[in-house]
Structure 1
């Protein structure tokens, strides 16, 4: 489904609510049924718009001490969510003099974006310290509304669907104050705004706490991996010296097949390309492509299934992390494309252990030194096979893997709980911000 259709579905759901008859305590508006004591207002009725200006990348201070807080348009959709009290970027007095100030309660809209999801993304600035907004930011200074509530409302489907329709441009999408002024929103009385914002903020705090737990557990795992995978920490009963071996002795890197784009079909078996290999995950989404299912029998050695490990050979490192992942049951089966390698263990070595040693900082550091080319950088299977590593016996490998996997399972459980919290919050937002569910005073 295209983004356009997704937004239309979201809008039509709101518009169709209660069309069968009058709802007690509600009134019918152009946005659908809303509570009788709510009003539909355009954004220009809520306040005045102005524009940010200045603040290029070179204006951002590397040393944040003593600088003045600022925000650039891309940060609105890459760093922040619904509201923020802290702006991460800083500028000096000279840059601030060439920019536009923003104050506590102002709503900031991203005026440009690379995708339709970016366009019109907004945040409420909630710090009392004066800050500064760069170019391509539309600033709304509202009158007597709860800014935290507006931060949630303006990022809900009822607004996003309208922003999509007024976005202009192709490779870069733009939106202007003239278009934002026409956007209509359901507005409850101020006390109800404040109550809704408080409820949603409670959910945000729970989600943030969950994400903090995930980060802490991940840090513990990374530290333990560094010790276990280098032999600095060993388990009782294992005393044999680790052996230095070339990767060619313990693993085979099977490069994928150069399947042709003309072979692509609408539905079939998934086609695993470089873009589908993430850091620790296989990424399937709207960009997933397919090959005929007959290719499974025709190319058996390139078939991927649960338990197989794959890594990118082109642009394999992102933010000092290796793009390597293990297939799970949910990934089903797929066919391996060129410039992606399947790892096959050799000589009774544990595949998961091999997978983990590829993720150690030193391994990644030495990989960087081996890569050829700059745009994009590549690693060759031949060069990888020559790389030396220290490796324990098979039983110690299995023990190390079992401990690291226990951390992975705990992290997966924390991540799933976080996803559940976010899903619950999204449902609650839709109900509260349209008046479908009322809050008690």
Structure 2
């Protein structure tokens, strides 16, 4: 491929220099308002939403675009976690309902990476949906884009980078409607849009197939845990009756420290807060705070190391799952913050067994009962310690843990394959959407 100089910039043949960067000559850079109409959106709070199947109107909340909807296309045939408006909510007369192919953009985010995150609506099939809080809803004006490609316009790394330049805010970053309307995007030709969408959709299907395998294995694990951790399924060689004990008999809960008067530092020892504790995992990206390393010696009680189990004490339950996780090597060393608890096994009980006990439906049900009336939902260490459970001998605990861990290993392998597929897709997507790699038509 030959190259020519244009304004002191090396430009490849067949490409052109634009304000958004180097793109193919037959691609365009229109403004968003030249391609899409902005629909009216409505703002309702989470308190006005539910997952009641009898409610008729689906509601796209910006928080779900960031955290719930994991695929570029929101497929109403497969996505089960779209909230609905409560029946007592009154809609304004000006409301505009969504159609297949509409694009919903989150206009606010707690970090720059989430600015302009977008999804495209698919397979409504008679369902009624509206775009809600902190969103822009876009509809193609005159078929300048093809269905299935529209969401990828906003996943183009050139576009995503440029969107960050118009984001404003301190704790929350936002983009205004006026700036967004004037914002330029990169548009391939219609045939290329169709081909790119088809290619990326194939990868999405591969990821979905892997997710299905993971879900199936997780369901098998869930059923097995229910059998093993209640004593309904026993192993040969174990016949002793399980003992009813309080949690205080088998585990010590150690609450963290607020460290209120201490200045944070740029580097040092990690400070584990509630925001870092997920369901089965520790999350540091974007939420990492550091304290002076000297605190380790001053506060040994709150030091966390590999293998330690921690759980959130404020809003500890999400979608009937407990925010509890194990530390591992990649987490390094950390100090425990207030409203997070560290679990320490007592009286020769296996810590991993205790960890799995906390995830049982009956235990989560009892925790919900303990938190009734607290706002925000809080669980006290005193109440936790009083909870009653049935436990087998230490040897049987170890056997149960080994079986559950074998399922965890298989699930982690499946997740690893999914991540590889996803990363490969992301790399290809960047090449296709920027025109660095051209499709054959």
Counterpart check, 1:84 vs 2:74: yes
Match of 1:210 in 2: 210
Report matched runs for 1:292-441 at 5 Å: 292-371=292-371, 374-441=374-441
- Contact 1:55 1:95 (C-alpha < 8 Å) held by counterparts: no
- How has the CA–CA distance of structure 1 residues 114 and 283 changed in structure 2, closer, same or farther, with 3 Å as cutoff? closer
Report matched runs for 1:126-165 at 5 Å: 126-127=122-123, 133-134=130-131, 136-144=135-143, 145-165=145-165
- How has the CA–CA distance of structure 1 residues 434 and 354 changed in structure 2, closer, same or farther, with 3 Å as cutoff? same
- How has the CA–CA distance of structure 1 residues 272 and 373 changed in structure 2, closer, same or farther, with 3 Å as cutoff? farther
- Contact 1:40 1:184 (C-alpha < 8 Å) held by counterparts: yes
Q: Whole-Å Cα distance in 1 between the matches of residues 14 and 321 of structure 2?
A: 55
SS at match of 1:235: coil
- How has the CA–CA distance of structure 1 residues 79 and 299 changed in structure 2, closer, same or farther, with 3 Å as cutoff? closer
- How has the CA–CA distance of structure 1 residues 143 and 335 changed in structure 2, closer, same or farther, with 3 Å as cutoff? same
SS at match of 2:17: strand
- Contact 2:309 2:327 (C-alpha < 8 Å) held by counterparts: yes
- How has the CA–CA distance of structure 1 residues 210 and 160 changed in structure 2, closer, same or farther, with 3 Å as cutoff? same
Q: Whole-Å Cα distance in 2 between the matches of residues 291 and 379 of structure 1?
A: 26
- How has the CA–CA distance of structure 1 residues 170 and 227 changed in structure 2, closer, same or farther, with 3 Å as cutoff? same
Deviation digits for residues 192-212 of structure 1 (CA, Å, limit 9, x no counterpart): 111111111111111112222
- How has the CA–CA distance of structure 1 residues 331 and 224 changed in structure 2, closer, same or farther, with 3 Å as cutoff? same
Q: Whole-Å Cα distance in 1 between the matches of residues 129 and 341 of structure 2?
A: 47
- For these two proteins, the number of residue pairs brought into alignment is 422
- Contact 1:96 1:132 (C-alpha < 8 Å) held by counterparts: no
Tell me the TM-score normalized by structure 1.
0.84
Pairwise CA distance, 1:127: 4.1
Q: Whole-Å Cα distance in 2 between the matches of residues 55 and 378 of structure 1?
A: 28
Q: Whole-Å Cα distance in 1 between the matches of residues 177 and 266 of structure 2?
A: 40
Pairwise CA distance, 1:224: 1.0
Match of 1:37 in 2: 26
SS at match of 1:41: coil
SS at match of 2:12: coil
Q: Whole-Å Cα distance in 2 between the matches of residues 115 and 54 of structure 1?
A: 23
- Contact 2:156 2:434 (C-alpha < 8 Å) held by counterparts: no
- How has the CA–CA distance of structure 1 residues 174 and 269 changed in structure 2, closer, same or farther, with 3 Å as cutoff? closer
Counterpart check, 1:121 vs 2:110: no
SS at match of 1:252: strand
Match of 1:28 in 2: 17
SS at match of 1:427: helix
- Contact 1:100 1:132 (C-alpha < 8 Å) held by counterparts: no
Which of residues 88, 94, 104 in structure 2 aligns to 1:108? 104
Match of 1:286 in 2: 286
Richer in helix (by share): 1
- How has the CA–CA distance of structure 1 residues 348 and 54 changed in structure 2, closer, same or farther, with 3 Å as cutoff? closer
Q: Whole-Å Cα distance in 2 between the matches of residues 89 and 379 of structure 1?
A: 26
SS at match of 2:314: coil
SS at match of 1:120: coil
- How has the CA–CA distance of structure 1 residues 139 and 255 changed in structure 2, closer, same or farther, with 3 Å as cutoff? closer
Q: Whole-Å Cα distance in 2 between the matches of residues 104 and 26 of structure 1?
A: 33
Counterpart check, 1:99 vs 2:95: yes
Q: Whole-Å Cα distance in 1 between the matches of residues 397 and 37 of structure 2?
A: 62
- How has the CA–CA distance of structure 1 residues 171 and 49 changed in structure 2, closer, same or farther, with 3 Å as cutoff? farther
Tell me the TM-score normalized by structure 2.
0.84
Pairwise CA distance, 1:319: 2.6
- Contact 1:73 1:137 (C-alpha < 8 Å) held by counterparts: no
Q: Whole-Å Cα distance in 1 between the matches of residues 176 and 265 of structure 2?
A: 40
Counterpart check, 1:198 vs 2:194: no
Pairwise CA distance, 1:117: 4.9
Deviation digits for residues 341-363 of structure 1 (CA, Å, limit 9, x no counterpart): 22222222111111111111111
SS at match of 2:343: strand
Match of 2:254 in 1: 254
Q: Which runs of 5+ in 2 are unaligned?
A: 1-6
RMSD: 3.2
